[in-house]
Each structure stands twice: as C-alpha cells, then as structure tokens.
Amino acid sequence: MSASIEQILEETRHFLPSPEFSAKARVSSMEQYREMYEESINSPETFWAREASDLSWQQPWDSVLEWNVPNAEWFKGAKVNISENCLDRHLTNGRKDKVAIHWEGECGEKIALTYADLHREVCKFANVLTAQGVKAGDPVLLYLPMVPEAVISMLACARIGALHSVVFGGFSVDAIVDRLEDCGAKYVITADGGFRRGKAISLKDNVDAALERYPDVKCSFIVQRTESEVTMVEGRDVWWHELMADASAEHTPEGFDSEHPLFILYTSGSTGKPKGVLHTTGGYMIGTYTTCKYIFDMRDDDVYWCTADVGWITGHSYICYGPLLNGVTQVMYEGAPNYPDFGRFWKMVEDYKVSIFYTAPTAIRAFIKAGDDLPNAHDLSSLRLLGTVGEPINPEAWMWYHKVIGGERCPIVDTWWQTETGAIMISPLPGATPTMPGTATLPFFGVDAAILDEEGNECPPNAGGKLVVRKPWPSMLRGIYKNPERFQTAYWDDYPGIYTVGDGARKDDEGNTWIVGRLDDVLNVSGHRLGTAEIESALVAHDNIAEAAVVGKPHEIKGEAVVAFVVLKSPVNDEEYTHTLRKHVATLIGALARPDDLYIVTALPKTRSGKIMRRLLKELVSTGDITGNITTLEDPTVVEELKALVQV
C-alpha cells in the first residue's frame, strides 16, 4: 500500500534545471521556449529558414514548405549534400583536427578519428562506391557491426546520393532477404564479422546465405573486423581495405535536391512485412541538427555518447547525422553493455569524460539490477545531461538514472519519437522544461502534437486517446519505399490531413504528454518495435507448426517479453522441442525476437471470422487469467486449456 502511494508522489514531483545549467543553455526559460514554439507553429517558414541558414546549401531554396497531404516538400529547389555538412564544413570552421569519433572495440582497442580523418575516409569510400558502379538513387544494403566503417559507409552513400538501408546486425538471413527483395538493392556492405560478448559473430555467412536466395547483388563490400575465415565470391565480393588502399581522398560533394532520398530504414508494423520508411535530405538534416542543438544542447567542449546501434533510427539520427552536423566529439562503442561486466559503460564515461549520455530504459533497468556498486566505482562527474529513448521510462528507473548516474545534477531528457518521425518530437529542453519521471513532457519546435478521440476531437486533460501530429515537420518520413498506398493507410487514414502515430497517450493539466504504449499488436522489446506478424510468420515457416500467435508480456528488463502459442502439425514427444522452436525464430529473425516462452496448444482462441484474439492471450500471460469478453470466440473451450497451461 505505502509503496504505491510513494510512487504516485514521485510521479507528481517536478525537477527543475539548475540555475547554472539554465544560464548556459540555448533555451534557458519556459518563457523563451513558449515564444520560440509559438513562432515555429505560427510561422514555420521563418523559423525553419533561420535554423537552416546555420548549415551549407549549394543552392538556396525557392520555398521552405510545400504541403500536399500526405506529401511534404521542405526547402524545395535547394541543392544540398548532407555529407558535406557533416564533414567538409568542419574543415574550415576550426574543427578539422577535433576528434569526431572516439571508437572503442569490445576488447578495448581504441581509434580516434578527427573530422579531417573521417572526411578523408568518407571521400575515399565514396570514390570506391562510384568505381564499383553505385549511382545516385541506388539503394545499398548495410549489414555491419558497430565499427567506424558503418558511419563511413552511411556518409559515403549519402555523399554520392545513394540510399543506405541499414539492417541491424542482430537480424538474420530471412530479414536480409526480405529487405533486399523489397528495396531491390544491388550492392551490400558487410563485414567478416563483429564482436559480441567476446565472441566473433559471423555476418558475411548470413549475407552469403541471403545472396543465394537473392542473386541480384553485383558487388558486396567486406570490412575486415574479426579476421575469421570467409569465402570470397569471385566477381562479387571485394575487400574494403584493398579498395581503400588505392582510392583517392579527393571528392567533390555534389549538391542534390533537398527532397532527394537519403535512406530507407525498415520498421515493424502490425500487419504484413516491415515497412521501408523513407527519409529525404534537407528536412531530415535540419530535424536532426536542431534537435541535437536544442535538446542535447551540444557544445564544442561536449563529449557525447549515444549507446544505440546504427541499425536503428537512433543510430542514424543521433550517432551518424545529428552529432556530426553539430561538430561534436562522440564516443562509439562496438560491444555489449555487460562486457566484461555491467560497469563497462561507466568506465567509458569516466575514461572519455562523457558529458552527454543517451541510452534506453531497457538498458537502465539492466543496470539497476546489476547494482549501484558498478557506477559508484567510477567518476561520473563529467556528465551534465542524460537522455532516454525507446519506450516509456518507469519512474523508478528515471529516479535511479537521476540519482546514481546523474548525481542529482543532470537534467534528463526523455525523448519521444519514432523511425518515421526521423528526429525527436516530444522532449524537455534541458535548460527550460520542468521534468517529471515518466513523461516526455512538451513538443519540440514545429511539432503540433495532440491527443484525439475516435471522432477526432481533442481529448480533455488526463483522458487517453490517440497521439497525432497535425502539421508537417522537416524530418518526417516521405513515404514507404515504393508503396504509397501503405503510406496512406498506415498513417493518414484515421483523420484527414493528420499523421497518426500509433501510440496511445494522454496529456496532463500542464500539457505534458504521457505515452501509454502502442495501439496495435506491435511489441516493444528492449526499446525495439517487433511486429507480432513477423514473428508469427517465422514460426509458421517451421515445418511442423500449423498456426502461431505471439503476444507481449511485461518484462522487468526488456519492457516486453515475447510469448508464443503454437499449434503443431504432428505431436512431438521431446522435452527440448519448445527450445528448438524458440531457436528457430532466433535463426530466422534474430535473437531479439526469440520467444521467452512458447506454449504448444491444440487450438488458438479465434473469432468466428478467424481472427486470432491476441488480447485474450495477452491478458492470460500477464495475469494468469482470462476475464475479458469471450462471446465472440468460435470455440470457448480453448480458454480452459489455455488457463490450465499458463501459470503466472
């Protein structure tokens, strides 16, 4: 009883930025935030033109925004190169010899790349890509570990106008094939392998298996990282280091249209295959640049560290583009947070004197479990600002982050956004916004976020509804790659002219937005969206599985755990069989999607029209009971079998 009362008290507690922090911040009061926010909403053209003028454009725009629902064009008529803005611009503004990336391998190797070094490597690789036939507009699939070559590849693609499509290195063969088929890439950049918890994980083997099923790839560039044995396919596979050795470091960045496609990144949806979210150049550049400038308040003397993988949107916007556009020094780490133990991150914060640290609630929960001794053993006094992203942060985790990592001195920016939004949308501004554990607080500049009921009316304070964005913003997605219908139905059909996010939320009396979670069947495992449909398809792809249903259940560390129910074609008398089936999912999609629990059942709960009633399964795995309405069930007797099977 008393614990829940305490928790409620904590949630109403406000944390104000310290006067010292505010005094130095770009936005230092709520008054200033409101003034700027109003301008960004009422005169977006003026606001964004001013921000855009911080960066280099090879040719100016004719108009800041053309909006024909659902298609936005930002900075139309302008010519721009985002790689030039991330790199070349800093060669003449005093940052040439400043470290851009402090990279650390899992085994402790260190590489420091200055802006001049990074520029040279990107120019060379841009020349390599061009020499192998890659042209502007070509999609290139990247499947890489967290090595500098990942960022170099992305910037080199962008430099020549090719679209990168990064596939998370933890995904497996099927995921690569799906994405190759969907985007039609003819070029792949991968590595022999990567290190994870001290083990060399092969990446090239997965790519090789994928290319057997998708033979259209002309050239596969192989980074040498683990030096494990690989088979090079004559006429297709080329070593990165061999081509780079002879490549010229001279490269003039061509100006592309502001709306030239920059990248595709696949993300899960509740139905069907993952969606190829498309981002373009000029608007995305301004979105990532300004959010780093105002939300992380990046300064020349900052050392910034975002712990995400480049395979997710966070790695795109807040490792590759945003920090480099701001000319900051950042840390990039190859491996696992618990290698050799959960003190690794805190040791690195101390070693590099990290001042801005951006991670996910799932990681914070794992650190809490590992105990305070590990962070307490390190000097974390260099930290001045903390951030989180990926899912709602529970107040206990927020308080721990605040006290144990932030020393009660660092503001926390809880940043809400999505693959589709390209950049942070709802977040405190660290020198201005009073924060509260569990809310991402207020919209960023230009973001007209609202909560609507089914009829499209704005919900009153504290009433839950659907989170939407009513105005276009610079870094918004420009479509689903080659699939305009899906773009329309997934985001624009609920309310005319309004972007539907897919999250449930409410606003409190002060206007703070509290995210309740996803509205569809999509799971959020360790801060990553996983489609139930994709995991179910993987299960059904097994020879002996007839049907499958997947739901999430609350999990202390991961946020949600994957629970699968399967109907077998023929019974198997083997205690290890569920293990085999779980492993099958890991092999097909990746370890992240491996079901934590798997139940073999004789039938799934379905409606008369044949729809699986996942909400009943969800209730069962979280509470151990089914109390919800079962009147639409085709066969109510399955409920008893399920209840007997699942013990919580």
Q: Which residues bind ligand WT7 (CB under 6 A)?
A: 267, 312-314, 389-392, 414-419, 440, 501-503, 515, 518, 524, 527-529
CB of 485 to ligand WT7, least distance (A): 21
Alpha helices in 89-160 (DSSP H): 89-91, 115-131, 148-159
Q: Is 460 helix (H, G, I), strand (E, B) or coil?
A: coil
- Rank residues 261 and 437 by Cβ distance to ligand WT7 and give the closer one: 437
Minimal distance, residue 459 CB to ligand WT7, in Å = 18
Of residues 172 and 314, the one with the C-beta less far from ligand WT7? 314
Closest by CA to 317, choosing from 346, 364, 283, is 283
CA distances in angstroms from 238 to 160, 347, 406, 591, listed in the order given: 20, 37, 46, 28
Burial class (CB in 10 A: 0-12, 13-18, 19+), 337: middle
Report the C-alpha gap between 621 and 601 in whole angstroms: 14
Q: How far is CA 236 from CA 119, 132, 221, 443, in A?
A: 27, 10, 8, 48
Q: At what angle do helices 532-540 and 577-588 cross, to 10 degrees?
A: 120
Q: Phi first, then psi: give them for residue 426, nearest 5 degrees.
A: -130, 125
CA neighbor of 422 nearest in space, from 270, 274, 286, 268: 286
Closest distance to ligand WT7 from the beta carbon of 390 (Å):
4
Smallest distance from ligand WT7 to CB 170, Å: 14
Nearest residue (CB) to ligand WT7, 368 versus 393:
393
Alpha helix segments (H runs only) across 25-114: 30-42, 44-52, 82-83, 89-91
Closest CB 313 distance from ligand WT7, rounded Å: 5
Q: Name which of 524, 586, 516, 523 is nearest 549 in CA terms.
A: 523
Please say which residue, 556 or 625, places its beta carbon nearer to ligand WT7: 556
**Closer CB to ligand WT7, 191 or 551, in the complex:** 551
Min. distance of Cβ 354 from ligand WT7 in angstroms? 20
Instruction: Indicate the residue among 126 and 313 with the shorter CB distance to ligand WT7.
Output: 313
Tokens in use for 283?
């608007």
CB of 311 to ligand WT7, least distance (A): 11
The CB density around residue 628, as the number of other CB atoms within 10 Å, is: 12
In the bound complex, what is the minimum distance in angstroms from residue 592's beta carbon to ligand WT7? 12
Closest distance of CB 194 from ligand WT7, Å: 21
Could you give the count of Cα atoms lying within 13 Å of 452 in the half-sphere of its Cβ? Answer: 19
Cα distance between residue 415 and residue 407, in whole Å:
20
Please report, in angstroms and rounded to a whole number, the separation of the first and last CA atoms in the chain. 22
Cβ proximity to ligand WT7: between 424 and 581 the closer is 424
Strand order across the 449-452 sheet:
449-452, 465-469, 499-507, 513-518
Nearest approach in angstroms of CB 391 to ligand WT7 is 5
Task: Report d(CA 352, CA 104) in Å as an integer.
Answer: 10
- Element (H or E) spanning 354, and its range? none
Gap between the Cα atoms of 283 and 252, Å rounded: 22
Q: How far is the CB of 386 from ligand WT7 (least distance, A)?
A: 13
- For ligand WT7, which is the closer residue by CB, 84 or 503? 503
Nearer Cβ to ligand WT7 (389/612): 389
Using the minimum distance from each CB to ligand WT7, give the nearer residue, 253 or 437.
Answer: 437
d(CA 229, CA 231): 7
- Residue for token pair 């044995």: 229
Q: Looking at beta carbons only, is 505 or 638 nearer to ligand WT7?
A: 505
Query: Which structure tokens are listed for 429?
Result: 């501004």
In the bound state, the residue with its beta carbon closest to ligand WT7 is 419
CA distance 587 to 584: 5
In the bound state with ligand WT7, the residue whose beta carbon lies nearer, of 193 and 527, is 527
Which residue, 83 or 362, is less far from ligand WT7 as judged by CB? 362
Give the nearest distance from C-beta 622 to ligand WT7 in angstroms.
18
Residue 312 Cβ vs ligand WT7, minimum distance, rounded to whole Å: 6
User: Which one, 158 or 515, has the nearer CB to ligand WT7?
Assistant: 515
Which tokens is 488 given? Answer: 């329309």
**Looking at beta carbons only, is 217 or 368 nearer to ligand WT7?**
368
- Report the C-alpha gap between 620 and 498 in whole angstroms: 35
- By the 10 Å C-beta count (0-12 exposed, 13-18 middle, 19+ buried), 362 is classed as buried
DSSP-derived letter for residue 165 is E
Closest distance between ligand WT7 and the C-beta of residue 581, in Å?
A: 26
Q: How far is the CB of 446 from ligand WT7 (least distance, A)?
A: 17
Cα 108 to chain centroid distance, Å, stands at 26
Q: Is 526 exposed, middle or buried (0-12, 13-18, 19+ CB in 10 A)?
A: buried
Is the alpha carbon torsion for 622, 624, 629, 631 positive or negative?
Answer: positive
Whole-angstrom distance, CA of residue 156 vs CA of residue 262: 11
